Chain A
């Protein structure tokens, strides 16, 4: 009896220390997750806090007199005349009219508020509508980047405001009267890169990324899945297959910049493919993504229960039929998930693309696989390295766009896995 009680006592005491250990272990886990979440939160608040202004543009709305005499233009359909005509003067005159107290002598300062490309906008509008000549129109133009920075970051010491006091006073007043406004930055989503931050957009980079990803997907998915099926189902178990397996795992660990060098040496120098084009970018990213896809596809194939294989073989299905009818459908969700994660990795990849020239300054939105292009992360890299802070906020905005793509791809992967998963 005595003996028994002491044994219960011992158990109780050991229980206490066991519970303590459990609690401690839980605490470590909670701490780890808290740190991870904290880091994520900091990242997002920083990027969103700095970058949301990148989604805003500053515009000037005013009534422009399209006076033929002032512009040295009497036939807007004549290309030569259009080339020679002065489209800046009507803008300056219109803005002087909007600012009380501004005179002809202030024209240079007034001009400094209007975006240098506004005259191009006016020219295009007039070429499209020749009958506007001689009338007066209310039109909206981008403001000068200096105005944009002043309007968004007036109190922020980090930004240097390049307007003089006179201009600042004007901008304040125009803003009050609603002539200068900020609105959603559609220019950011409809154009390519530009030297002028106000006009810089990411459409070019998005299209470049999509083209590159398309090449990567159509090459790496079939090749990766085929390799995985061969290695898992058909390859004989010998030294050679072991060697291949080890090397595929090694490739997954090779730094991505090495793949860039390989692409430069092989695709561009040896095969003579053009620089900075989505095809080469896609090929390089294919090399980089393949190991990930092969490894995850093999894992997916391995996880198909052997009983299903046996069942099909027992009925007399051939190897090919077993793979096509049973193994592949069951492994597909895992393969797709792995591929999407590999693609997301490739989408965020910068280093290898720098080496094959996709880091060039490209203004036009690419319209083909062999057209010079850049991609989202490289665009972020380019803007983030710019000394102009107006570009930095656009870099943050571009990061948000990139993260949106990545998060939606990962969400798609999870959704597909849930959707296609089958129980057995």
Chain B
């Protein structure tokens, strides 16, 4: 199957591409070695230290022995074909998989040298430090102000109304939304445009001053202009936050991230500096993916 597909794909794309030789592709399973990742999966100053991470849905493995470091104030992009486990892996980082009963996580996952999956660890505290932005903009059906203020309120970050106002304004400013909404903070957030809603969700996530922001395909529901704004925002946020972004758009990964990790069928195949991944990938699967032979 794979061989046939690859052949057809290369034939079609041959006129444009110059130096891609028609490879004898072997089935992907045979060329991935479990637990082995090419490139630079480790970092000198890791925020997350993830070793031999395995995730199972029931008995079916979704993530197979992945080891990876995520550096401090780094933007790392997870790419890969659908169903490769990149979102599952991302959701392990703030234990969002907890709510799925059949999901089990094994291996060592450490945030600043503290185990994320320690049974004694309070998941609320973890999520306050590791915020998340989802694929579909999901503002609460409340006012814009209440959306941003919700996190600080439940964590008791502001004792006075003026403090809360300040947090809300700062978060909205950082999300580049303040000028658009400052006159209608009491308006319902569901009445905003998709792009504004997503930036509101980002503002909501950073309102609790997390150290890490996880983004699960944050732009897949947005138009190109809104996407550009969110990407700009990611670049600004990277100065003060560690950002992990899952994306289906390789251009987006190339534009916003410092490092890129390529996932395939639950394996972490390659991690490297972004420009390296896109210009001279080391692994043949990475190369096939970024040249559009599958995905």
Give residues in A with beta carbon < 8 Å to B. 236-237, 305, 307-318, 321, 325-326, 330, 422-424
The answer, yes or no, to whether B79 is at the interface (CB within 8 Å) is no
CB distance B131 to A312 under 8 Å? no
Q: Which 3 A-B pairs give the minimum distances between C-beta atoms? A: A316-B127, A314-B132, A307-B138
CB distance A314 to B127 under 8 Å? yes
| Contact string against A for B residues 247-260, beta-carbon threshold 8 Å, 1 for contact and 0 otherwise | 00000000000000
The answer, yes or no, to whether B124 is at the interface (CB within 8 Å) is yes
| Contact string against A for B residues 107-126, beta-carbon threshold 8 Å, 1 for contact and 0 otherwise | 00000000000000000111
Which residue of chain B has its CB nearest to the CB of A329? B141
Interchain nearest-CB distance for A360 vs B (Å): 51
A311-B201, A315-B205 known; A422 vs B134 contact (CB < 8 Å): no
CB distance B140 to A326 under 8 Å? yes
Most B Cβ at <10 Å: residue of A309, A310, A311, A316 = A316
A237-B101, A307-B134 known; A316 vs B201 contact (CB < 8 Å): no
A307-B134, A310-B134 known; A315 vs B154 contact (CB < 8 Å): yes
Choice from B94, B136, B150, B154 contacting A307 with Cβ under 8 Å: B136
Majority SS at the chain A contact face: helix
Choice from B124, B138, B154 contacting A311 with Cβ under 8 Å: B138
CB distance B131 to A423 under 8 Å? no
CB distance B208 to A316 under 8 Å? yes
A422 to B136, CA, bound (A): 18
B134 surroundings in chain A (CB, below 8 A): 307, 310-311, 314
The answer, yes or no, to whether B194 is at the interface (CB within 8 Å) is no
A308 surroundings in chain B (CB, below 8 A): 138, 140-141
B138 surroundings in chain A (CB, below 8 A): 305, 307-308, 310-311
Please tell me the size bucket of the interface on B: 20 to 34
A424 to B201, CA, bound (A): 14
Interchain nearest-CB distance for B60 vs A (Å): 18
The answer, yes or no, to whether B139 is at the interface (CB within 8 Å) is yes
CB distance B125 to A316 under 8 Å? yes
CB distance A321 to B101 under 8 Å? no
A307 surroundings in chain B (CB, below 8 A): 134, 136, 138
The answer, yes or no, to whether B204 is at the interface (CB within 8 Å) is yes
The answer, yes or no, to whether B96 is at the interface (CB within 8 Å) is yes
B30 surroundings in chain A (CB, below 8 A): none
A311 surroundings in chain B (CB, below 8 A): 134, 138-140, 201, 204
- A sample of 12 inter-chain contacts (CB < 8 A) reads A308-B140, A310-B138, A314-B96, A315-B128, A315-B204, A315-B208, A316-B127, A317-B154, A318-B124, A318-B154, A330-B141, A424-B139
Which residue of chain B has its CB nearest to the CB of A314? B132
A312 to B96, CA, bound (A): 11
Most A Cβ at <10 Å: residue of B133, B136, B154, B208 = B154
Interchain nearest-CB distance for A24 vs B (Å): 41
A423 surroundings in chain B (CB, below 8 A): 141, 190
B132 surroundings in chain A (CB, below 8 A): 310, 314
A310 to B208, CA, bound (A): 16
Interchain nearest-CB distance for A327 vs B (Å): 11
The answer, yes or no, to whether B151 is at the interface (CB within 8 Å) is yes
CB distance A422 to B205 under 8 Å? no
The answer, yes or no, to whether B155 is at the interface (CB within 8 Å) is yes
The answer, yes or no, to whether B99 is at the interface (CB within 8 Å) is yes
CB distance A313 to B99 under 8 Å? yes
B150 surroundings in chain A (CB, below 8 A): 312, 315, 317, 325
| Contact string against A for B residues 133-164, beta-carbon threshold 8 Å, 1 for contact and 0 otherwise | 11010111100000000110011000000000
A53 to B99, CA, bound (A): 63
A305 surroundings in chain B (CB, below 8 A): 138
Choice from A314, A316, A424 contacting B155 with Cβ under 8 Å: A316
Choice from A236, A312, A316, A318 contacting B140 with Cβ under 8 Å: A312
Interchain nearest-CB distance for A274 vs B (Å): 48
Choice from B99, B124, B133, B141 contacting A316 with Cβ under 8 Å: B124
B128 surroundings in chain A (CB, below 8 A): 315-316
B101 surroundings in chain A (CB, below 8 A): 236-237
A18 to B194, CA, bound (A): 40
A237 surroundings in chain B (CB, below 8 A): 101
B99 surroundings in chain A (CB, below 8 A): 309, 313
